[in-house]
Structure 1
Amino acid sequence: LAIACGYEDADDLDHLRRDPGFKLACGRLPDTGRDLCSQPTISRWENAPTLREVIRLTYALVDTWCDSYARPPVAVTLDIDDTVDVVHGHQQLALFNAHHDERCFMPIHVYDAATSRPVAIVIRPGKTPSGQEIRGHLRRLIRRIRSHWPNTRLTMRGDSHYGRPEVMAWCEAHDVDYIFGLAGNSVLHRLLEPAADDIRVRRAETQAQSLRGHAEIRYGAKSWKKQRRVA
């Protein structure tokens, strides 16, 4: 309640515990009711949940999203991305991110592509997630979704942050489709040069302002255990 009212610091509770409005909102008489919790008590409660309990809390949003469907869908596409959340102090897990030139968190968001409804949000340090971290988040997320919809076809969609070998291998092993961005490199540029040159020539011949084309190759980076389709 204090956070919702704009009081983020537990120190504020030493005064707000006697506030008539807060006492009334918590079911106590505004004048004669017992005072609410003090700052030390609130701070102990903030640190009481274990990692297991925090993960269980994140499942509440996943369950709510699944319940928003009248029946299990045949297929869903989930968009996953991290966003910058700038901090204004020295909060725990806040790190300096050179790309954004800010001290920040980098929470991961997952949304239903068809409805734009939130599926899961994970607060995390202000750095690019590793492949192992992403794999762990996906493992818990997909397991929870399939406890509701065991037969729904799932597709994950994200930028190159998420196109990690660990993530792609896990998706393939657990029957999860994926569309991930892939960072360019000299090998990819060489393999795609014929298609790119064809587009440049056709654009020059037609004097088009812009021209878009598509190509498909099989590619395997050294860190991959097999080749994969790249479009």
Structure 2
Amino acid sequence: MYKIVKSRLHFSVVFFTILLIDVIVKNISEVSLFRIVTKTSLLLSLLLLALYHKSEQKKRNMFFLVSALICFWVGDILMLFYENVSLYFLAIFFFILGKLFYVFRLSTKKDFSMNRLVPYVFFGVSLMFIVYYLIYNGLCETSFFLVFLYFFAALKVFLFAILRKYAVVASSYNLVLLGVFFSFFSDTITALSSFSEINIPFSESAIMIFYGLSQFFIVIGVLEDKNICVFKKNCKSWS
């Protein structure tokens, strides 16, 4: 395991192999012992990667990142039993917590201009309302509230990812933003397939692929942060 988290190539191969296996298993059986192992292994691998690089991160930042990954990990387990309504809503709650911890992790002390944020706020709010319009009839009172909180948290992650532009190195900014966009795809497809009658081809596979990509790039991006070690060949801890 030490060799895997130390090498960017080894870790990437292991992570995406697990993701591919999970997508295949998901299409065979939504809930099985093997599916529980493959799906939860994705977040656990990222958690191990984060812990390996903890010496390169501020304690506060590491706490937020680890807390986010743990929340997503718990949410992933609960979501496997989505047919139980209570567990489904509890999973959404943990996903919301995960996104909020990402917001805390992505926050910076650097001043920013509200004028620069306006087009991004418009984009995020417009997307949220379009999705809500498409799924409105399929929402009950409880799901309406939770889904609203979820998309609000997702919007916050997007905005704080944007605000990092001049506070971190370009590679970190671009990787996190790429992960956030993949998260948008995953969240949108999930909402449409869960609460609307819109038929999206290969939606189940697409959700998991985009979700895995989003977590991978967000975690790799925040680990680079001001320390550009994670994706540098000459880095002693990540080669």
Q: Which has the larger share of strand? A: 1
**TM-score normalised per structure 2:** 0.23
RCO higher in 1 or 2 (8 Å CA, sep ≥ 6)?
2
Which of the two has higher C-alpha Rg? 1
Q: Which has the larger share of helix? A: 2
